[in-house]
């Protein structure tokens, strides 16, 4: 090293500029989550506008029945996501402040890992959330809202989720919403033998619940969906019958168990419907499982004799006892997540091209100095003009040489999958020292130099 | 000696009573494992007691009110066990056990030697009448018990909280079936019992027998019984509405029992 102190680089901490805001089943009741929920059809649009909001480089939106989260990477560590909420939803998030949570940097990384690993789920360990996060990620990729760092974060989150699932017993004993629904159906109907299940909406959760119910003896399956083809596809899968959506109200009274998960903005089953169903059924009981947010079934319907309505929050209450049993496994899973956050941080540091550029510059500068010192002995004393000419010449040469590697590194940084390969290649070609050490050195220098609060653990 | 066996039966039935009380106080079901054999043994001793007293007197007789209570309790237990075998659930016992206990207890502490005062009681018809009516009562009691449990289970499901009751009670539909089948089971007995009684009474007292308060109430009870079945058939009434009707029927049944003291035709004891 040329004895020169490394300058703290303003971009070194760029990799931790993550920010997450959202509402979930713990912080907000279903009435509030309904307000924030984004229907599948609008997800791409929401993701796109998030990513193009001022101050934000990359963005992703997760919207499930239990949570709505905006995940973003900002340009300089802060961004006015509340402003985005105001712009996108058209209402002021201030009244919901107590329900909204916000995580930054390491905490944001940890949160994303926990969500993907199903540690933040209503039913800890349930498998659906991973699929939902994956879908949100796919949507974000499709609209070009994620690139280098968010991409790396999500890829890692999926790996962490897999690790948690295989290394702890959390998933094996997981009580999914679907199996809770089966238990409740058994409490009402006893044996499910010969019972009829009606799916309203053809979503993943619906399908899962139907699979469970059929496995426990339910006999007949009807599927109604706004897009008839999807109803048909799902019905075929289970040997059921697809019903055109217009015939919904005439056919629902045939069902004992109705699982509803449409993206409808308003309730599609109201109390007066329930009264009609009951008279058609001669008061035989009906069980409505409402996993949609916003809810499909008016809670008033639960007041009718013989109709039992459980929404997603009610199911959570039923399973809350199971969660306690899995505390130990959850603690182990949390430890894995913590470890992975640390690993991710150092990995992102190696991903960062800045230390490589710095050491490339240092390396060439050292070479240049050494060569000048060597040649100077042979040339004797030079005039100040000659001295300056030599300086200019040598500097010009190394700057020209460095230009292409540096631009290549910078462009590689934007595409995370390339970055490591290019960094390794450059380091190998120029004989630079180990990337990890360089990053650590850069890190150290920054800790001294930048004084940025919260950026460092 | 029959009294001794009856008292042993009462002791066993007390286990059933205790089981019901423990459940209602939500103290868990410590007695869950012993309650079936206990009340089963109670039923056997009860049977022995009834047989012995019948043998002693030489025939079945209903002259003593205590003896009738014992028979009614016995029939209630028999019907309970029929449904226990069918549905493998002791839960209607929560209501049946206390009723049976009170009936047998009253019978066991106060039983006097049977006194036969009315020649009517010697006839075989009266035996048919009483056994049929009591079997009908037993069905009604069981249905009443089950309909109360239906309400409890329905409320627990609607409250959406995992209470201990929710896990202990059988599924709603099973309770509902017990409710309905017990009614169905009891109805023909009740109807035939009333017919047998009417035939007897017309024979003995003439058409005026109908103005007796006990008989009048019995017919009202029969009408309510019929109504219960009818609403069930026609519009599938269950839950709250069915429970109200069943409670109504049960209250009438109690008043029919109490009406003995005002009844001309049913006063058989020498006082």
Quick: pLDDT tens for A368-402: 988 888 887 787 778 888 888 888 999 999 889 88
Task: Answer whether A190 sits within 8 Å of B171, measured CB to CB.
Answer: yes
Residue A329 scores a pLDDT above 80: no
Count of CB atoms within 10 A of residue A388's CB? Answer: 11
Determine contact, residues A181/A310, Cβ cutoff 8 Å: yes
Per the residue annotation, which of A65, A200, A234, A330 is the catalytic one? A65
- Residue A158's pLDDT is 92
ipTM: 0.71
pLDDT at A60: 92
Q: Which residues of chain B does A189 touch, with a Cβ-Cβ cutoff of 8 Å?
A: 171-173
Measure CB to CB from residue A283 to each of B153, B157, B238 and give the nearest one. Answer: B238
Higher pLDDT, A415 or A358: A358
Of A279, A284, A308, which is closest to B157 when you measure between CB atoms? A308
Q: Are A196 and A213 in contact (CB under 8 A)?
A: no
* Distance (Å) from the alpha carbon of B87 to chain A's nearest alpha carbon: 11
A376/A370 Cα distance (integer angstroms): 10
| A284 lies within 8 A of chain B by CB | yes
pLDDT at A245 over 50: yes
Q: For position A251, what pLDDT does the model report?
A: 93
pLDDT tens digit string along A121-167?
877 777 788 888 999 999 998 988 888 788 888 988 999 988 888 87
**Stretch A172-200: mean pLDDT:** 80
Q: For residue B192, count CB atoms less than 10 angstroms from its CB and return exposed for 0-12, middle for 13-18, buried for 19 or more.
A: middle
Strand A101-104 versus strand A18-24 pairing type: antiparallel
Q: A186 contacts in B (CB within 8 Å)?
A: 171
Number of cross-chain residue pairs from A and B with Cβ atoms under 8 Å apart: 52
Q: Among A31-40, A93-102, A311-320, A435-444, which stretch is predicted with the lowest mean pLDDT?
A: A435-444
DSSP type of residue A6: P
Task: Please answer yes or no on whether A305 and B166 come within 8 Å at the CB atom.
Answer: no
ω before A15 within 30° of 0 (cis)?
no
pLDDT for res A122: 76
* Mean pLDDT, residues A208-222: 85
User: Which pLDDT score is estimated for A243?
Assistant: 92
Interface with chain B: mutation pick from A30, A190, A289, A315, highest number of B CBs within 10 Å:
A190
**Dist CA A441 CA A432 (whole Å):** 14
Distance from CA of B157 to the nearest CA of A (A): 7
Please answer whether residues B47 and B74 qualify as being in contact, where contact means their C-beta atoms are separated by less than 8 angstroms.
Answer: yes
Give A266→chain B minimum CA distance, Å: 23
Residue A206 catalytic? no
Asked if residue A25 lies in contact with residue A99, where contact means CB atoms within 8 angstroms, the answer is no
Instruction: Evaluate the CA torsion angle B245, B249, B250, B254 in order and state its sign.
Output: positive
pLDDT at A197 > cutoff 90: yes
- Which of A279, A308, A317 is closest, CB to CB, to B158? A308
- What residue of A is the nearest CA neighbor of B168? A187
Q: Name the β-bridge partners of A301.
A: none
The answer to whether A258 and A289 have CB atoms below 8 angstroms apart is: yes
Question: Of the ranges A157-171, A340-354, B192-206, which is most confident?
Answer: A157-171
CA dihedral B144, B150, B151, B153 (to 10 degrees): 150
Q: What mean pLDDT, rounded, does chain A reach?
A: 81
Average pLDDT over residues A256-281: 90
- Identity of the residue in B157, B174, B241 whose CB atom sits nearest the CB atom of A190: B174
Indicate the pTM of the whole model: 0.57
Residue A270 has a pLDDT of 93
CB < 8 Å to A279, chain B: 235
Best residue of A281, A302, A305 to probe chain B, by most B CBs closer than 10 Å: A305
Contacts of A268 (CB under 8 A, 6+ apart): A200, A248, A260, A262, A296, A297
**A452 has pLDDT over 70:** no
Q: Do A188 and B172 touch (CB under 8 A)?
A: yes
Between CA B52 and CA A103 the distance in angstroms is 82
Nearest CA in chain A to B240: A305
């Amino acid at each position: 090293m040329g004895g020169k102190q490394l300058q703290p680089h303003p971009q070194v901490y760029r990799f931790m500029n993550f920010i997450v805001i959202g509402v979930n089943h713990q912080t907000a009741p279903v009435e509030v989550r309904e307000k924030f929920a984004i229907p599948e059809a609008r997800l791409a649009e929401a993701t796109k506008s998030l990513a193009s909001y001022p101050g934000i480089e990359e963005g992703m939106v997760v919207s499930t029945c239990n949570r709505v989260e905006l995940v973003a990477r900002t340009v300089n560590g802060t961004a006015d996501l509340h402003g985005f909420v105001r712009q996108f939803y058209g209402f002021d998030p201030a009244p919901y402040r107590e329900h909204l949570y916000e995580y930054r940097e390491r905490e944001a990384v940890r949160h994303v890992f926990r969500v993907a690993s199903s540690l933040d789920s209503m039913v800890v360990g349930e498998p659906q959330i991973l699929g939902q996060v994956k879908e949100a990620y796919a949507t974000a990729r499709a609209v070009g809202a994620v690139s280098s760092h968010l991409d790396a974060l999500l890829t890692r989150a999926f790996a962490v989720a897999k690790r948690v699932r295989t290394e702890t017993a959390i998933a094996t004993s997981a009580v999914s919403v679907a199996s809770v629904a089966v238990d409740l159906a058994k409490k009402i109907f006893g044996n499910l033998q010969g019972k009829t299940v009606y799916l309203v909406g053809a979503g993943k959760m619906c399908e899962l619940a139907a699979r469970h119910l059929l496995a426990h003896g339910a006999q007949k399956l009807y599927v109604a969906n706004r897009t008839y083809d999807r109803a048909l596809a799902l019905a075929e899968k289970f040997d059921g019958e697809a019903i055109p959506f217009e015939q919904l109200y005439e056919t629902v009274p045939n069902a004992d168990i109705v699982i509803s998960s449409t993206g409808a903005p308003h309730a599609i089953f109201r109390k007066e419907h329930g009264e009609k169903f009951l008279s058609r059924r001669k008061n035989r009981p009906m069980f409505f499982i409402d996993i949609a947010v916003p809810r499909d079934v008016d809670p008033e319907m639960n007041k009718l004799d013989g109709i039992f309505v459980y929404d997603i929050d009610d199911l959570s209450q039923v399973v809350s006892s199971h969660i306690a049993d899995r505390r130990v496994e959850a603690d182990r899973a949390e430890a894995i997540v913590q470890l992975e956050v640390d690993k991710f941080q150092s990995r992102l540091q190696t991903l960062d091209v800045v230390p490589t550029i710095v050491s490339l510059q240092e390396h060439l500068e050292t070479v240049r100095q050494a060569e000048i010192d060597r040649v100077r002995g042979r040339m004797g004393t030079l005039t100040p003009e000659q001295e300056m000419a030599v300086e200019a010449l040598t500097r010009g040469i190394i700057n020209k040489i460095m230009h292409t590697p540096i631009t290549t590194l910078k462009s590689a940084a934007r595409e995370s999958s390339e970055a490591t390969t290019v960094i390794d290649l450059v380091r190998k070609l120029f004989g630079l020292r180990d990337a990890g050490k360089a990053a650590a050195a850069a890190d150290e220098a920054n800790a001294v130099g930048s004084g940025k609060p919260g950026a460092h653990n | 000696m029959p009294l001794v066996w009856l008292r042993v039966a009462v002791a066993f039935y007390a286990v059933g009573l205790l089981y019901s009380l423990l459940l209602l106080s939500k103290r868990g079901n410590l007695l869950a494992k012993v309650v079936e054999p206990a009340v089963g043994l109670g039923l056997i001793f009860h049977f022995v007691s009834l047989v012995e007293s019948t043998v002693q007197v030489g025939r079945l007789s209903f002259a003593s009110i205590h003896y009738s209570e014992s028979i009614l309790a016995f029939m209630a237990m028999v019907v309970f066990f029929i449904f226990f075998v069918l549905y493998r659930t002791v839960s209607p016992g929560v209501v049946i056990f206390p009723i049976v206990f009170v009936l047998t207890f009253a019978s066991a502490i106060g039983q006097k030697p049977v006194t036969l005062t009315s020649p009517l009681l010697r006839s075989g018809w009266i035996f048919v009448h009483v056994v049929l009516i009591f079997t009908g009562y037993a069905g009604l009691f069981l249905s009443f018990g089950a309909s109360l449990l239906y309400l409890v289970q329905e409320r627990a499901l609607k409250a959406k909280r995992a209470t201990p009751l929710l896990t202990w009670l059988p599924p709603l539909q099973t309770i509902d079936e017990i409710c309905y089948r017990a009614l169905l089971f009891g109805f023909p007995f009740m109807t035939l019992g009333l017919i047998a009684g009417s035939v007897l009474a017309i024979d003995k007292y003439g058409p005026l027998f109908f103005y007796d308060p006990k008989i009048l109430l019995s017919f009202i009870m029969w009408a309510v019984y019929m109504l219960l079945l009818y609403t069930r058939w026609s519009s599938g009434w269950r839950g709250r509405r069915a429970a109200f009707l069943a409670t109504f029927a049960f209250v009438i049944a109690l008043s029919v029992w109490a009406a003995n003291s005002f009844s001309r035709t049913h006063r058989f004891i020498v006082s």
